[in-house]
Amino acid sequence: MPIYEYECEKCHSRFELKRSFGEDGNANCPECRGKACRIFTSVPVIFKGSGFYVTDNKKSNPASTTEKSEKKDEAPKPVASPKPAVMQKKD
């Protein structure tokens, strides 16, 4: 069950409550029994494992690198442009 942080609207005290996802979000302050509102905070993101650095994705075959360099020496093939549509007049 997740733990949520609340703040009382009357006395401004902060407290935590363990609530299930299906439970109602309303809560009362344990000190003054006033209405409390849930406080939303950002969650820290922790990256673990490989694949998060630029150098992790730079693994390549030596054979594929030579093939790419040979292809770079070739002249690029011209791209055929489409012919513009010609409209015919009707008599």
Half-sphere exposure of 49 (CA within 13 A, CB side): 1
For the stretch 11-62, pLDDT in tens is 999 999 998 888 887 889 999 999 999 998 888 888 777 666 666 655 566 5
Confidence of residue 75 (pLDDT cuts 50, 70, 90): low
Q: Is 63 helix (H, G, I), strand (E, B) or coil?
A: helix
Half-sphere exposure of 28 (CA within 13 A, CB side): 5
Whole-model pTM over 0.75? no
pLDDT tops 80 at residue 71: no
* Residue 43 pLDDT: 80
**Residue 36 · residue 8 · CB < 8 Å:** yes
- Domain residue limits, the chain: 3-39
**Tokens 């006395």 found at:** 11
